[in-house]
Amino acid sequence: MDPGNDTRNLEFQILGLSEKPELQPLIFGLFLSMYLITVFGNLLLILAVSSDSHLHTPMYFFLANLSFVDICFTSTTVPKMLLNIQTQSKVITYDGCITQMYFFILFAGLDVFLLTVMAYDRFVAICHPLHYTVIMNPWLCGLLVLVTWIISLLHSLLETLVVLRLSFCTEMEIPHFFCELNQMIQLSCSDTFLNNMVMYFGALLLGGGAFIGILYSYSKIVSSIRRISSAQGKYKAFSTCASHLSVVSLFYCMILGVYLSSAAPQSSHASAVASVMYTVVTPMLNPFIYSLRNTDIKRALMRFSGMAALKGPIVLGLKRCP
C-alpha cells in the first residue's frame, strides 16, 4: 500500500444491482425473501440431519457442512446489501470491504471443495460399495472437511494480502452489490500484475482442479452404472448421486454464466446480475434439491417436525403443573 494513501479513512461506494429509486423496494423485498428462505431451508436441513441417527452417514455429514457453508456464503453479501438499501447509503469502509471480500472468497472456496468431496463420496459408494464403510470412516470424513477449511483459509488469506498492497486513488465506485475481488483489483491505481496472477492461478489451480476431480469421479460412476445389468439397479445407483449432480451442474453453470457475462458489453452490470445466481439463488435452491429428491431427508424432516410439534404441548403441560 502506498504510504500516502491513508486506508483508515478510505470508503467505497457499492452501486448495487440498480440505481433506480423505484426499484429499490422490489430488490429489497426479493433479496430479503431469498435470504430468509436460504437460512431457514439450510438450517432445517442441518437440524434434520443432526437429529436423525439414520442420517449420521458420510453423505449427510458433508451435506450438513455444505448447508452451513451456504448460510455463511449468503450472509457475507446479502445483509450488507439490504442494510444499504434500507438506509439509502451505498458506503462501505475499506476495512469492511476487505473483510467482506475475505469471507466471500473463503466460503466460495469451501462450496467448491465440499462439492468435490461429496463427488468422491458418491464415487466410493457406487464404485466400491463393499468397502464404503471402511474407506469413508469418520476419521477420513473429518480430515477431508478439515483439509477443505485449511486450503480455503490459506487461499482467501493469500488473495486478501495481495489486495492489501494496492493503493486506491479517485475512482471508488464498485459496480457490484458486494466487494468482489476482480472489481477491487480494477479500481486500484497500483500495478495489479501480481494480483491478476494470483487470482487467475488460484482459480485455475483450485477451481479447475476441483472441477477435474468431480469429472473424474462421475466418469468412474457412469462407467460402474453401465456395468450394472438390471434397469432397477442402474436407477437405484443413479438416484444416489442425482441430487449432488444437480447441485454441481447448477453451481458451475452459474459461475460459467458470470465469466461469459464479464466478456459482454456493459460487463460490470451483467456480471453483478449473473453473480446473484451463484451467490444467492444456488444456496437457496440446494436444500430443496436435496430434500425433494431424497426420501431419507423427507422422512427426517417429518420426524423432526413431529418432534417439534410434540414438544410444544409437553412444555405447556409442564408449565401448568403446580
Note the pLDDT of residue 9.
Answer: 67
Of the candidates 206, 210, 225, 49, the residue with the CA atom closest to the CA atom of residue 123 = 225
Q: Is residue 274 predicted with pLDDT exceeding 90?
A: no
pLDDT tens digits for range 167-198: 887 668 888 889 989 888 888 888 889 999 99
**Domain regions of the chain by residue span:** 9-295
Query: What percentage of the chain exceeds 90 in pLDDT?
Result: 46
Per-residue confidence band for 53, with pLDDT thresholds at 50, 70 and 90: confident
pLDDT tens digits for range 128-151: 989 999 999 999 999 999 999 999
Largest alpha-carbon pair distance within the chain? 74
Note the pLDDT of residue 219.
Answer: 93
**pTM of structure:** 0.88
Per-residue confidence band for 68, with pLDDT thresholds at 50, 70 and 90: very high
Structural contact between residues 73 and 107, judged by C-beta atoms closer than 8 angstroms: yes
pLDDT tens digits for range 242-268: 888 888 888 887 777 666 655 555 556
Structural contact between residues 94 and 7, judged by C-beta atoms closer than 8 angstroms: yes
Distances, alpha carbon 167 to alpha carbons 52, 92, 164, 212, 266, in Å:
52, 16, 8, 36, 25
List the CATH code of the domain at 9-295: 1.20.1070.10
Query: What percentage of the chain exceeds 70 in pLDDT?
Result: 86
Q: Is residue 218 predicted with pLDDT exceeding 90?
A: yes
